[in-house]
Structure 1
Amino acid sequence: MTGPYPIRFAHTALLDIAYEEHGEPDGQPIILLHGFPYDPRGYDEVWPLLAAQGHRVVVPYLRGYGPTRFRSEATMRSGQQAAIAQDLIDLMDALSIEKAALAGYDWGGRAACIVAALWPQRARCLVSGDGYNIQNIPASVKPASPEAEYRYWYQYYFHSARGMRGLTENREELSRLLWKLWSPSWGFSEDDFARSAVSFHNPDFVEIVIHSYRHRYGYAPGDPVLQKIEDRLAEQPQISVPTISLCGADDGVGPPDKEDSSQFSGPFERRILPGVGHNIPQEAPEATAQALLELIGKS
């Protein structure tokens, strides 16, 4: 199933957050969060399975994607983890959602994990792509294994002026390459990619992406307004809400090579998805929806 779907806007202090909404307005809220370089199209086969069960499903465009816009030119175009998490809290407040089931992968998974860790009263449950996604920025100076490091080439590319220019001039070509490398067993079509690629032409896309990958290694300062949140995240807080971690067995950027339950203090289950790469909801929509429905049914 594909869009387009009606776009709505949640007005927060910093952003006009674009989102798509499906299902029953009075149903149990579920928020589905995309990553980089993807957009809400990744959930087109997930939300119908949730809406069919009477849930209210909200699928936002992250800052820097699609129709989401900053309300002021003066606002820092931060891509740091605290910013996307605060955006999620602000979205929930704007939509009068006190508590929601959260699902996300990549950047969206990080936002969901942070909210579940720091504001557990706002998260009914969590489905996280690749488990605990909260960045340990103070420890980022320590090199990973060479096997892991080579997969991060794009991050180091973005640390340079050449990489920023490359993303500016070749954002679709670069994003398409990442889709292929990260999901080597997923035979996505050119139409699949094109439906998401339009979201990468947001005027703030490049600046936010570059800041995100520089800040996480300490190469760019964060937004001072968000420092208190970053300080809490530096402590690597545990997640207490019921969680299912979905891991693509063929993930080309973050293969599931180790157990990741130590940061979860509540009910936790890890599921490895054969033949699935990094874009978990678009590659495994039934498994994504099933995990959410199971958790909601138990909570």
Structure 2
Amino acid sequence: MFATANRLNRSALLACALLPLALLAATPSQAEETSSPAAARQSTPFGPLKHVQAGVLDVAYVEQGPADGPVVILLHGWPYDIHSYEQVAPQLAAQGYRVLVPYARGYGDTRFLSANTPRNAQPAALASDVIAFMDALGIKRAVLGGFDWGARTADIVSALWPERVKALVSVSGYLISSQEAAKTPLPPSAELQWWYQYYFATERGRAGYDSNRHAFARLIWQTASPQWAFDDATFERSAKALDNPDQVAITVHNYRWRLGLAQGETRYDPLEAKLATFPAIGVPTIALEGDANGAPHPPAEAYAKRFTGKYAYRLVSGGVGHNLPQEAPEAFVKAVVDADHL
């Protein structure tokens, strides 16, 4: 227990530094449904994958709902994929939203346009990908929703480009942090939860993850959502996204960067400097948390003051773990709709 609220808030922000955490010029391109053999293997409940060139990426994504509807962009985490929103997307589309669910860099059919682009997964790069994606599709504003890496990315976009965000739904709330904050050790019990981060800090860990991606992901799913009884078909459908040729490089870089063990790109230095100040998020926000989240996450009272606009916190009960949109889709859908109307 902490003696003061300030110490609690400081500890939680340090924990955020370890959580699964210059704007790129977008190149507008006509989005097209793909017919590639790789995309055919990546069957989705949403329909065929679409592709758009955005920044340094050829982004694979799914789209549902009316083309002229208000836009919702849903961001997945690690080691998950777009299927976390397989029930959320159609429900939002049925309510008139244009729903876009992109594969992040290093996942599914999303690819780098150049072999020379650094396989960089620092937080500012992932957030800049979202802005480039919006620019490529001509989207000025959207409701953002995410969990795990996706929640952090949605938080960052909301903090740095609030004019692009109509509202935010963030699982586990405020996940912005910095390399500097990550330098302070956590209590041993908290450090234990991050075993895989330290594993990835070694070349043995890189090789081990590369050789056992699906088994690794299954273990994370089980520990992060201990009461979620997902079946083999559900898991394997998402695990295929980890076969992306850049998956290992992206995952390892993300966790090494957080610990200051890997360099980022200088183009993102100004953005990371802003993030290191823990900027407030002023867009309307609903923070969600599952009552059985087995992944490290900050307490709600530690980050509430970081949201300076209209804000609500909801604890979702019923044994709901880390992958909240897939485990409790109705609660996530309601949060998106309600946040849009805050």
TM-score, scaled to structure 1: 0.97
**Matched AA of 1:162:** R
Query: Counterpart of 2:152?
Result: 110
- 8 Å CA contact 2:46–2:86 kept in 1: the answer is no
Question: Among residues 282, 285, 288, which one is paired with 2:332 in the alignment?
Answer: 288
Measure how far apart 1:256 and its partner are. Answer: 5.5
Alpha-carbon spacing, 1:31–1:77, altered in 2? closer, same or farther (3 Å):
same
Q: Secondary structure at the match of 2:305?
A: coil
Shift of 1:135: 2.2
Task: Work out the CA distance in 2 between the residues paired with 1:255 and 1:114.
Answer: 17
SS in 2 for 1:261: helix
The 5-angstrom pairing of residues 1-299 of structure 1 reads 3=45, 5-255=47-297, 257-259=299-301, 260-274=303-317, 275-298=319-342
Amino acid at match of 2:116: A
The answer (yes or no) to whether the contact 2:55–2:129 under 8 Å persists in 1 is no
The Cα offsets for residues 194-226 of structure 1, whole Å up to 9 and x where unpaired, read as 110110000000000000000011111101221
Shift of 1:273: 1.4
Post-superposition offset of 1:13? 2.9
Amino acid in structure 2 at the alignment position of 1:268: Y
Stretches of structure 1 that go unaligned for 5 or more consecutive residues are none
Instruction: Name structure 2 gaps, 5 residues minimum.
Output: 1-43
Structure with higher Rg: it is 2
* 2: CA distance, partners of 1:39 / 1:124: 24
Letter aligned with residue 333 of structure 2 = A
How far does residue 147 in structure 1 lie from its aligned partner after superposition? 2.3
Structure 1: which amino acid aligns with 2:312? E
- Residue 309 of structure 2 aligns with an amino acid whose one-letter code is G
Secondary structure at the counterpart of residue 198 of structure 1 = helix
Give, in whole Å, the separation in 2 of the partners of 1:111 and 1:97. 17
Conservation of the 8 A alpha-carbon contact between 1:249 and 1:255: no
Q: 2: distance between equivalents of 1:293 and 1:258?
A: 21
Aligned residues: 297
Q: Which amino acid aligns with 1:270?
A: Y
Taking the aligned partners of 1:53 and 1:68, their CA distance within structure 2 comes to: 28
Deviations 1:17-66 (A, max 9, x none): 11000000000000000000000000001011110111100000000000
Check the 8 A contact 1:183/1:279 in 2, yes or no: yes
For the aligned residues, what is the CA RMSD?
Answer: 1.1
C-alpha change, 1:110 and 1:256, in structure 2 (3 Å) is closer
- The Cα offsets for residues 117-176 of structure 1, whole Å up to 9 and x where unpaired, read as 000000000000100011232111101122221111111111111110011000000000
Quote the sequence identity (%): 48
Q: Residue 136 and residue 262 in structure 1: after superposition, are their counterparts in 2 closer, same or farther (change >3 A)?
A: farther
